Amino acid sequence: MSFLSDMALTQGEIAIVYGALEDWCKKTNVQIDSPDGRDVATVMLGLYKTGQTTKPAILQAMQKVTGLEQV
C-alpha cells in the first residue's frame, strides 16, 4: 500500500475524527484552525489509524496522551 492510500479516510471516518476534534477543541478552548488545533487533528488521525475508531475512544486516548481530564 502507498502512503496516500494508508492516509485515506471515508466520509464516515472523517466524521468520527472531526467530531472528536470539535469536542476536544471546544472543551480545551483551542481553535480548530490554529496551530494547536492542527496538532490535535494530526494526533487524532494517528489515534484513529492505530485502532481508536470511535469518538469516545479517540477522546479517551487523547486524555492519556495529554494527561488532561476527560472532556
Taking only the tens place, the pLDDT of each residue in 8-37 is 889 999 999 999 999 999 999 999 999 999
User: What's the pTM?
Assistant: 0.84
Q: Which amino acid is at 59?
A: L
- Residue 25 has what pLDDT? 96
Per-residue pLDDT, 6: 61
**Residue 47: which domain range?**
33-71
Number of separate domains in the chain: 1
In a domain, 70, yes or no: yes
> Residue 60 has which C-alpha cell?
479517551
Q: Which residues contact 69 (CB under 8 A, 6 or more apart)?
A: 63
Is 50 domain-assigned? yes
Please provide the average confidence, as pLDDT, over all residues in the chain.
Answer: 89
Q: What pLDDT was estimated at residue 1?
A: 46
Residue 18: inside a domain, yes or no? no
- The answer to whether residue 1 sits within a structural domain is no
- Whether 25 is in a domain gets the answer no
Q: What is the dihedral of CA 24, 33, 11, 64, to 10 degrees?
A: -30
